[in-house]
Amino acid sequence: MSITVIGAGLSGLSSAFHLSRRFPNSRIVVLERQAKLGGWVNSTRTNQVLLEGGPRTLRPNGKSVLELINLLNLQDQLVTVQKSAPAAKARYLYIPPSSSSPFALQGLQKIPATPKEFLTSPLTRLLIPSILREAFTTSNRPKGATDESFDALFSRRFGAEFARIFGSALVHGIYASDSRKLSVKSAFPSIWQLEDAGRGSITRGAVKEMLFKSKPKPEDEYNLGDLPKLMQGVSVYSFKNGMQTLTDALHAALVRQPNVTIIPNAPVNSISKIQPDTFQITHSGSQTHYTTHLVSSIPPQSLKHILRPSPYLSLPPHTTPLMLANPQSSVQVVNLVFPCAPKHIHPQGFGYLVPRPLEDYSSWTTKHKHGVLGMVFDSCSLHAQDAGGDNMTPEEYYDNGKWTKVTVMLGGPYGFPSSGSALSDGTGDVLPRELEGLLDTLSVHLGRPLPKPVQWKVWNNYECIPTLLPGHLERVEELRRCVEGRGKGKERTGITLVGAGVDGVSVPDVVKSGRRAAYAL
């Protein structure tokens, strides 16, 4: 048996790693179109400050990632944020001024996290009535509904304004998407399940879960070592040298395996099944490669363009719409480094998200230019990654740190910033006009003038996050029947689909997706 993995992002690397462990005597080839492996995971250190272009923190409930950390011996590289830390307890919303909002909320608002904050927060005027009303509203899910948009569910349960302010902001932060388009059952399955558990009420379902907590599932499925103990009391974590620590370690582990070959700069041009048990893959222009099994970690849209029909692989006509169903969001990530302690830049906490505007997204960017999805206060949670930070507590660094590092996310449903091509990396006293405009916007959000940054780095992540539209789970099930040959009476084709486009966008999701590939063959 020979196995070829298409794509060397997190799901592709996870696939190859677990396949190499399960099939140590099989030939495994990884083809990656770029020179760099790791996909959207990008970490770089400049001027003693670590900057991230993709995911930056992880939650300890992702067992698939904890298993990799254990197997790759990365425990000593961890940077953890305790649940008691300010970055874990303080999160904010920035609500743009609007005379149309019935609650007249605006500005930077701390999301209440304690009983005292619930009593004093301006957000309480919206939160408490919405939650109480939801708890005492009978089931109103449309009859026969098997899925709906995140906004539709939140609107019918909590009200339209609650859904716009809290729901859309959450979706902006995770999916960089319009909550009116995103499938709640695919993107937030626990919320759909809570509504079921509460007999129509998410609030009642959440209370029931707290009172009658089910026993945790056994850990035997994952090789976690002592990581569950290390992660007790941890809110989020990362690595001393950033998230790329994980992908670099996977790459190094694969290179050490004699049965694994990694070929970078190898874009795949076509895939054809030329025999019942043989695929022919052309890559890098005209090079030809043969394999018995294929694991595709690239987006289904990309696979559609290179997968050729043949007498040995005939796909039904409805396969194409299934592969093209989900659009993809593009996000511009801007790292800013200021030469002062964080207390001079922002409040203490994790960061803030911005809800959907009352007007449509395109009208907003026409008037305001920047479509900001949110900002992460990196120096509050990840100060240990930067020079001098590892010897200071979060509180000490907030007051006396040498640098303030923040990350701004733009684009998504607003469209990719029109100035994206003009805004590029830089240092020094002369700021590009596009950066000055962004800083003006952020100054309004934070309610204070901002000094000039000493460094800025721009990551243009085109089509980096799929928007899972309602019905996604059913479409993926059908797509796997068509492409993989899964289902009763189906003959397996030798293809396995993994990655964010089919199994979820979070880091644990894509790592788990790749892990599952090893057990699907």
Question: Could you tell me where the DSSP H helices lie in 106-243?
Answer: 115-120, 124-135, 150-158, 160-162, 168-175, 184-187, 189-197, 202-211, 227-230
Burial category of 326 from C-beta neighbours within 10 Å (exposed 0-12, middle 13-18, buried 19 and up): buried
| Mean pLDDT of the region 208-225 | 76
How far is residue 312's CA from residue 494's CA, in Å, rounded to a whole number? 11
Of 42-46, 430-434, 445-449, 500-504, least confident by mean pLDDT is 430-434
- Reading the block at residue 84, the tokens are 């008691």
How far is residue 125's CA from residue 23's CA, in Å, rounded to a whole number? 58
98 in the Ramachandran plot: left (φ > 0), alpha (ψ -120 to 50) or beta?
Answer: beta
| Closest by Cα among 150, 185, 61 to 413 | 150
pLDDT at 55: 95
pLDDT at 46: 85
Q: Which residue has the tokens 């944020």?
A: 81
pLDDT at 86: 87
pLDDT at 155: 97
DSSP 454: S
Tens digit of pLDDT for each residue in 271-319?
A: 999 999 999 999 998 899 999 999 999 999 999 999 998 999 989 999 9
Amino acid letter for position 269? N
Task: Show Cβ contacts of residue 396 under 8 Å, excluding neighbours closer than 6 positions.
Answer: none
Domains observed in the chain: 2-45+53-58+243-325+468-520 (3.50.50.60)
Task: Show Cβ contacts of residue 235 under 8 Å, excluding neighbours closer than 6 positions.
Answer: 59, 81, 82, 83, 85, 87, 88
pLDDT at 421: 57
pLDDT at 410 over 70: yes
DSSP 336: E
pLDDT at 419 over 60: no
Pairing of strands 260-263, 328-338: unpaired
Tens digit of pLDDT for each residue in 373-407?
A: 999 999 998 999 998 888 899 999 999 999 999 99
Burial category of 73 from C-beta neighbours within 10 Å (exposed 0-12, middle 13-18, buried 19 and up): exposed
How far is residue 104's CA from residue 470's CA, in Å, rounded to a whole number? 32
| Mean pLDDT of the region 28-50 | 94
**Counting every residue, how long is the chain?**
521
Q: What are phi and psi of 408, to 5 degrees?
A: -110, 135
Query: Is residue 392 within 8 Å of residue 386, measured between CB atoms?
Result: no
- The mean of the pLDDT values for the chain is 93
How far is residue 281's CA from residue 160's CA, in Å, rounded to a whole number? 50
pLDDT at 368 over 90: no
How far is residue 60's CA from residue 242's CA, in Å, rounded to a whole number? 16
- Greater confidence (148 vs 363) lies with 148
Q: What percent of the chain has a predicted confidence (pLDDT) above 90?
A: 80
| Closest by Cα among 143, 83, 134, 138 to 113 | 83
Q: Which residue has the tokens 């009200």?
A: 159
- Reading the block at residue 222, the tokens are 């994952």
- Reading the block at residue 347, the tokens are 């409040």
| Closest by Cα among 326, 322, 319, 320 to 469 | 326
pLDDT at 391: 87
- Reading the block at residue 371, the tokens are 């479509």
pLDDT at 433 over 70: yes
pLDDT at 216: 58
Task: Show Cβ contacts of residue 467 under 8 Å, excluding neighbours closer than 6 positions.
Answer: 175, 177, 178, 181, 182, 326, 327, 328, 329
DSSP 310: B
Whole-number CA gyration radius for the chain: 24
pLDDT at 420 over 80: no
Q: Which residue has the tokens 């009763």?
A: 488
Which of the four pLDDT bands, split at 50, 70 and 90, describes residue 472?
Answer: very high
- Reading the block at residue 300, the tokens are 């289904």
Query: Is residue 86 within 8 Å of residue 348, measured between CB atoms?
Result: yes
Helices 124-135 and 150-158 sit at what angle, rounded to 10 degrees? 90
How far is residue 86's CA from residue 132's CA, in Å, rounded to a whole number? 28
| Mean pLDDT of the region 251-259 | 97
Tens digit of pLDDT for each residue in 231-248?
A: 999 999 999 999 999 999
- CA torsion sign for 42, 514, 185, 192 is negative
Q: How many CB atoms lie within 10 A of CB 511?
A: 29
How far is residue 37's CA from residue 21's CA, in Å, rounded to a whole number? 20
pLDDT at 438 over 80: yes
Tens digit of pLDDT for each residue in 311-345?
A: 999 899 999 999 999 999 999 999 999 999 999 99
HEC readout, 320-354: HHHHCCCCEEEEEEEEEEECCCHHHCCCCCCEEEC
How far is residue 374's CA from residue 95's CA, in Å, rounded to a whole number? 11
| Mean pLDDT of the region 58-67 | 96
Query: What is the value of pTM for the model shown?
Result: 0.94
pLDDT at 227: 96
Task: Show Cβ contacts of residue 12 under 8 Å, excluding neighbours closer than 6 positions.
Answer: 5, 6, 30, 32, 39, 295, 297, 498, 499, 514
Amino acid letter for position 368? H
| Closest by Cα among 328, 321, 308 to 478 | 321
Q: How many CB atoms lie within 10 A of CB 343?
A: 14
pLDDT at 119: 86
